[in-house]
Each structure stands twice: as C-alpha cells, then as structure tokens.
Amino acid sequence: MYSKLKQLKWCILGGDKRDAHFAHSLLKCDYDVKVCGVPQIDELPGRAMVNDLEDAVKDADVLVCPVTGTHPQGVLRKSTVPIDLTAVLSRTSKLKVLVIGTANEAVSKAAALAGALVVESMRDDELAILNSIPSAEGAIQIAMENTDFTIHGSASIVLGMGRTGLTLASTLLSMHSNVSIAARKRSDLARGRALGFSPIHFDDLACELPVFDLIFNTVPSLVLDAKLMRVVKKTAVIIDLASPPGGTDFESAKAEGIKAILAPGLPGLVAPRTAGEILASVIPRLVHESLESLS
C-alpha cells in the first residue's frame, strides 16, 4: 500500500520509544527512513540512527515529529537531544510534508516558509481513537500505582466524553468501577447514559464531585479549578491526561492536600510497541492524503 511513499526520504525526528518502534515498522516495510533524537531500541538497526541533525533532515521529503508536539517556541517536547523544529525547518531544502501531533503558530509559520504541508496527526480520528487504548490503560496503571484500593467498586469520574474519555470510561466500567462521565453537550450525556455511565453536566460538577475516589480529566481547558478543588475528597486521586498544562489547577490541588498527577505521553510510556505500530498503521495514509491534495 502507498508504494510511492517508499520512494520518498523519511526522517523521524525526536520522540520516545514509540517513535523508535514506528521507525522500525516503516523500515520493515522498506521505507527509506532516518531517525534522529529518538531512543535506541534493540529492533532498530544502527544504520537508521543519525546523530547529526543537519544530516538527518537535509534531504528529507517527509519529516515526522512526535504526537506530543513542541513547546510554544518550537522546541520538541520529546527528544533525546534538544531540537528546535523551527530552526530545522529553515534548513530543509525539499521537504514536502511535516507530520506533527499539533502545530502551534511558530511551527506552522516555519513550515509555510519551508514550503511544506503540515499534517496534524492528533486531529485524525483513527489515530486518536487507536491511541486512546494505550492511554486509557496507562491512566489506569497510574491510578493503581497511586491508590490503596481496587478499581473494582471505586467511584470514578471521567471529565470529557471525547475520543480518550470514552475509551477510558469504558475500560473503567469493564473493571467494575462505578463510572460517571462529565460533559457539556446533552448528546454526550445521553450517549454516556446509553453506555452505562452516570452522566453529569459540567454545571452540576460542584455538587457531584465530593463522592469520587478517582478523577480522570481529558478536557484540555481548566475545568478542575480552585473552586472545584475545595469539594474534592482529600483521599481522591486526580489523573490529568489532557495535553500540558492539563485541565487541573495543580497549585490548588497541592494546597488542598490532594494528589493530582499530570500524565502526558502515556502510549509511549506504557505500550511503546503498540503505540509505534499504531503510528505506522495511520501516518502513511495521512502523508498519502496530504500529497494527493496537491494533485
């Protein structure tokens, strides 16, 4: 599939072990891949690893950066060496496509100057839904490591009924937690009820929150603010999956003596092989579609 993509030069720039597994999956399918700023794994042949950044990117047609994206100024959040993506983009000569989780303004501008199309991989439903599986397992692993009670029988709530929230709530339910979901859309609350969760509107959260042992946030906006933190059980654990800075007021949690954990990049941490295979099953299609859009 997508045999033309194998004629292109790919560079996987930065990331964690999931990106190393992603590179390995592409190499197994005869893609022409260089890797830089990614941790070594046994499966990855040394010939693919390039230490010199310039060398890695200079003739790349496709540049793939981590789903975790960059800091506001354009430095990759995940890399074994510091990489300023905006500077890298200015040094590419034939780049066609940049793939990145989400591109901020600095990255989008630099890519446009380099004449490259930008593909934001985390906007793709297939990738985000598949990624939600290791994310949910990772969140539950963190919950188990930070509590002295079972998931079974616990009172848990998942804030946000999007791609990650829905999978997480379903996984908790399958472990016999008493699962509530919070959403702002009535249709999401209805869907939640249909699936067996107790639905709670965000407007009612202050009344409902005190009963929960486990609070998982997937909303990428400040939803667990100082006011709500005052009603959270002192023994509760908050696990925030939303992209940094998360949706929790961590200062307030600390002041109230509540354990709150920001947990980014779970797929790469808890299931790098699966997460890498997921990337390899989706990213070639994204690149193909973006190149097709030019013709």
Name the site residues for ligand NAP (rule: CB under 6 A): 122, 128, 131, 135, 160-165, 183-185, 202, 218-221, 223, 241-243, 263-267
Residue 100's φ and ψ, nearest 5 degrees, are -155, 150
Whether omega before 245 lies within 30 degrees of 0, making that bond cis, reads: yes
* Residue nearer to ligand NAP on the CB measure, 66 or 165: 165
Nearest to 65 by CA among 84, 51, 45, 43: 84
Whole-number Å distance between alpha carbons of 7 and 34: 13
Chain position carrying tokens 């310039």: 54
Q: Which residue is nearest to ligand NAP (CB)?
A: 162
Whole-number Å distance between alpha carbons of 281 and 168: 22
**Number of residues in the chain:** 295
Q: What six digits make up the tokens of 214? A: 């486990």
* Residue nearer to ligand NAP on the CB measure, 39 or 69: 69
Q: What six digits make up the tokens of 206? A: 């202050």
Whole-number Å distance between alpha carbons of 188 and 182: 9
Buried b (16+ CB within 10 A) or exposed e, 167-204: bbbbbbbeeebbbbbbbeeeebbebbeeeebebbebee
